[in-house]
Every structure is written in structure tokens, then in C-alpha cells.
Structure 1
Amino acid sequence: MDLFSNPFYQRALAAALLIGFANGFFSGFVVLRRNALSVSALSHTMLPGIAFGILLTGALTQASAFVGALFAALMVGLGSVAIARGNRVAQGTALAVIYTSAFAAGVAILPRLDTRQELEHWLFGDIMAVGDGDLQIAFWIGAFTLISANLLMRPLLLTLFEPNVAAAQGVPVRFMHYLQFTLLVLSLVSSLQAVGCVLSVGMLIAPAATVSLLTDRTSALFWGGGALGAVGAVGGVLLAAWMRLAPGPVIVMLLGVMFLAAWVFSPKYGVIALRKS
């Protein structure tokens, strides 16, 4: 119980709750869109963005890391959407080319940086180092993502499943594609402090993927994913404190355990249910 009176753990738990729910909610779009590999590519793009931020500012700070990661992920993500508009190159192909090029550029400049060892903090996250400014960023990004997704839920889903029908009904399909990737990038960057570049994929895929094994309701993917993401993030911080481990990896491992449990025990799609049928 002493943890709850510690200001570091208070901020860590608040950040876990905010980031876990917002990312868990948006994971519904990732699962429905079936673009988990795109999320993985964008998450790794944040590393060269951080490297370029250090190169331009000369120091590794919260601001340079956040702005660099956000800029790189937006450029790669929205760039792939723009290239795919011509229908000659698939979006996945464009994303792979731009992502690997950006990542190669980041790797090339790493030897010129004096802060390479400090980058581990951003690779795997350190939610215990969250400050008041990071909490504000997580809150506003989460609020913007949740409000935008709920206000535009119908056109976003219609664009996701039936883009031609959406266009015929007057939905700005191109804008919706850009908006989805923008919200995806913002969700990734918001979890940068908590779990880092490498592990941020887990928070944006595992919650809704777990819920999808338990129910067929689309709305449950979002709200259930948000609840599961929040429980997994907060539970990961508490479990990490008890086990004396880094919180970021524990959060993602806990979400992975929940997914495997759903896969085994799901009454409809689980291993046990399939064997009985």
C-alpha cells in the first residue's frame, strides 16, 4: 500500500490508466483493419525520429524525443497513404519501403550521437519516469483520440469495410484514411514513455485482439479493448513493482497472457471449445 503514496507510482498508475484505455480503445480499429504489421512498422519508425530529434537539437530530451518520434511516424504513415492513392503501389508496399528507408537513416546517424546508451529508455520505455508534462500529453492525446473516434465512428467504420459505399454516401474517404493513420500514430507516440518504441505494438493490438476471441460485437472491441488495456497497464505496473521488474515489458507480457488465456478458454473460439465441437 506504500506504493500508492509514492508520487512516482501515482503518476505511473495514472499514465498507465490513461494510455492503456486510449490505446486499448483504438486497438479495435487495428484489429478490424487487420493492419498489425503496419503498426509494427510505425512503432519502429519512432526510433529514427528520436535519433533525428537528437541530431537537430543536440540533446536527448522529452521534447526532442516526442516531437521527433511524432514527426517520423506521421511522415511515414501518411506518406504511405498518399503513395497508395495512385492504386499502382499497395499501401503495405509503400509503407515497407518508406519505413525501411527511414529506419536505415536512423541507424546510419546513431554512431554520431553521444546519447546512444540513453536511447534504451525510449526503446523499452520507463513509465516510472513519467512527469506531470507527460501526463498532460497522454491525457490530451487520449481525449482527442477518443472524442474523434466516437464522433466519427460510423464514417470511419464504413470507410474501413466499404470505401466505395462510403464515397457514394458522401463520406470523405481520403480524409478518413488520413485521420485513421493520424490517430494511430498519436496512440503509438502516447505510449512511447510507458513501453517504448519496441513494445508499443502490444498495447495497440493485444486488447481488442483478446476481446475479439470473446465476443462478436463490434462495439465491444472498442470499449472492451479500452477496459482491458487499462486493466493490463495498471496491473502491469503493480505486478512489476511486486516482482521488481521493469513495468513496460511486464505490461505487454500481461496483455499477452490475457490474449493466450482468451484463446484457450474462449467459449466460442477457444481451443477447448473447438475441440468439443
Structure 2
Amino acid sequence: MSTFIEYMAEPTAQRALLACGLFGFANGFTSAFVVLRKSALRVGTLSHGLLPGIALAVLIFGLTAWSALAGAVFAAMIIGLGSVFLSQTSRIDQDSALCILYTTGFAGGYIILTKLNVRQKLDEWLFGSIMGMRDTDLWIAFGISVVAVLTLIALQRPLLIYLFEANVAASLGVPVRFLNYVTFGIVILVLVSSLQAVGCILSVGLLITPASTIYLFTNDARTLFVGGGIIGMIGSIIAFFLCFPLGWHISSTIILVLGTFFILAYIFSPKYGLFAKRIKPAAG
């Protein structure tokens, strides 16, 4: 491909651009829940916990897009929802339960991977291969993203009450336990839907950074959802266009661009930026 126009004429590039916008918005929108819930560490642990599911699926069914996706969903549900169940039915808190399930699963997955000769293909699931997405992959991701975003919109009012005042939410009749399962399940689905695009190693950055950036500008919880989605989408699309002239890996560039947005917000935000914190005492 000698020119950018020829590059964009390729179906693979067109799918990659659509995927960047789709994944960026869905993950950015969902990241508001992660930030408000203060569960970034849990999501980070969960994203790495996808690996044992992929390894087990590859061992049983061979390495295909469907087997890896199914394995990731299985691992995420077992580890993620399992940690919620253990924390609610025992004295163990959710962070401890998540750590136990994640490390146990990861250890088993690593043992399986050492016996399999699929390193080259496996790298795509670890670090993403957005240029390798097919139409089917894009439609599956689109369906998951639409369901996730619409569900969060529909549950936004009880969800915000639950996030800020769980006891008040319970007294108002909000099904707190059900809401906990549903929202955590949504996070898992969004995380898995982005697996092929950005990989299980980098996916946590896409699911945390956008709303964290907006969080430095506003106290409005509803703005975090929309703003996070917009930041995620814009950052992902910018990364796509940067990759052609620079020859960079798209998935890594997406996280790099979003990380740059966050650093700039941290420094220059007029409300909560680094400079704003230093100017206020001087003004007083």
C-alpha cells in the first residue's frame, strides 16, 4: 500500500476503523462504572484472568476465534462472578476472592500454554490484532456493545444511587445484589468483546482510562458515561490514523493515546489539574 487512500480502500482497514470507534465508545462508556465503583484493580485482575480460559479452550477445541472467545467468556464469568458469589456467601471479601480465583486460574492456564505450540497466534489475544478482525467479529462486538450501553443507560438511575449510597439504595427497594451481578457481568462482556482488538493485557487500559480522564474535569456522574464514551472513541480513532504513517501497533497506540489524554488532563484540568491545585493556595 503506497498511499493512505489505497490503505483505506482495503476492507481490513475499514473494519479496523469501525472497530476503533465501536470499542472506544463502548469501553469508554462502561469505564464510568469502573471509575465510580473504584474497581479498577478488580478489572485489571480480571483482564489477565482471561488467559486461562483461552488456554483451556485451545486445549480442548483447538485455536480458533470462537474457541478463544468462548474460553475468555467462561474464565471471566467464573472468576468475576465467582468472586462476587464467594464474597457474599463467606467471610472472604471480593478482592481476596478475586485474587485467589485469578492466580489459581492463571497458574493452570500457564501450565497448559507451556504444552501448546500456539505462541504466534496467542500473541494476538494477549496484545490484540484489530487488523485481523472479520465481519463476524465486528458484528459480535457490535451486538455486545449495544446491549452493554443500553443496559447501563436503562439502569443509570438505580445504578448511581447504588454506587454512591448502597444502604440507601437497598432501603429504597433497589435490588442491590442483582444490580451488582448485572453490572459486573456487563463489564465482563465489554472486556471480552474487546479481546481480539486490544488483547487481554491492554484491554484494562481501554476500560479505565477514558472515564478517569473525564473525572478530572467534572463531578457529574452522568457526564462520566457520555464523556468517557466520547474520549474512548476519539482516542481510538486518532490512534488508528497515527498508526499508518508511524507503523505502530494499533492496539498499543490506542492505549498510548488515551494515556496521553489522561496525563494532559492531570496537568492542565482547570478544576482538578496539577496546575490548578498549585494556583488555588497562592490565590488564597
Determine if the alignment matches structure 1 residue 26 to structure 2 residue 12: no
Residues in 2 aligned to 1:275 and 1:87: alpha-carbon distance in whole angstroms: 46
Distance 2:121 2:88 in 1: 39
8 Å CA contact retained: 1:208, 1:225 = yes
Aligned to 1:66: 69
1:174 is matched by which residue type in structure 2? R
| Contact 1:241/1:247 (8 A) holds in 2 | no
Structure 1 outlier segments of 4+, above 3 Å: none
| Equivalent pairs, count | 276
Q: Tell me how far apart the structure 2 counterparts of residues 216 and 158 of structure 1 sit (CA, whole Å).
A: 15
In the aligned structure 2, how far is the partner of 1:102 from the partner of 1:160? 29
Aligned to 2:279: 276
**1:105-130 alpha-carbon deviations (Å, 9 max, x no partner):** 10111122121332111110010001
Alignment of 1:249-260 (within 5 A): 249-260=252-263
Deviation track 1:219-238 (CA, whole Å, cap 9, x = no partner) reads 11100000000011111111
Q: Does 1:48 align with 2:49?
A: no
2:173 is paired with a residue whose SS is: coil
Corresponding position of 1:228: 231
Alpha-carbon distance between aligned partners in 1 of 2:123 and 2:24, rounded to the nearest angstrom: 22
> 1:87 deviation in Å?
5.6
Corresponding letter in the other structure for 2:24:
G
Residue of 92, 105, 108 corresponding to 2:108: 105
Which of 199, 210, 215 is the matching residue for 1:212?
215
2:143 & 2:233 partners in 1: Cα distance?
A: 16
CA distance in 1, matches of 2:191, 2:40: 12
Alpha-carbon shift at residue 259 of structure 1 (Å): 0.2
Give distance in 2, aligned partners of 1:240 and 1:265: 26
Which stretch shifts more, 15-24 or 165-174?
Answer: 165-174
Does 1:147 find its partner at 2:150?
yes
Q: Does residue 16 of the first structure (1) align with residue 20 of the second (2)?
A: yes
Please say if residues 137 and 190 of structure 1, whose CA atoms lie closer than 8 Å, have aligned partners that are also in contact: yes
Structure 2 gap ranges (5+): none
Confirm whether residue 265 of structure 1 aligns to residue 265 of structure 2: no
The Cα offsets for residues 183-220 of structure 1, whole Å up to 9 and x where unpaired, read as 01011111111110100001000000000011121111
The residue number in structure 1 matching 2:201 is: 198
SS in 1 for 2:208: helix
2:177 equivalent to 1:174 = yes
1:154 alignment partner, SS class = helix
Give the Cα–Cα distance (whole angstroms) in 1 for the partners of residues 196 and 223 of structure 2: 27
1:169 Cα shift? 1.6
Equivalent position SS for 1:51: helix
Tell me the equivalent position of 2:89: 86
Q: Distance in 2 between matches of 1:51 and 1:94?
A: 22
Name which of 17, 39, 43 aligns with 1:35. 39
| Distance in 2, Cα, partners of 1:179 & 1:204 | 17
The CA distance in 2 between the partners of 1:189 and 1:115, in whole Å, is 20
Separation of aligned partners in 2, 1:47 and 1:169: 40
Cα distance between partner residues in 2 of 1:13 and 1:50: 26
- CA RMSD in angstroms, aligned pairs only: 1.0
Name the CA distance, whole Å, in 1 between partners of 2:89 and 2:73. Answer: 26
Question: 1:85 is paired with a residue of what secondary structure?
Answer: helix
Quote the sequence identity (%).
49
Gaps of 5+ in 1: none
* 1:24–1:228 CA contact under 8 A, matched in 2: yes
Task: Write the distance in 2 (CA, Å) between the matches of 1:209 and 1:219.
Answer: 13
Distance 1:25 1:108 in 2: 36
Tell me by how many angstroms 1:4 deviates: 2.6
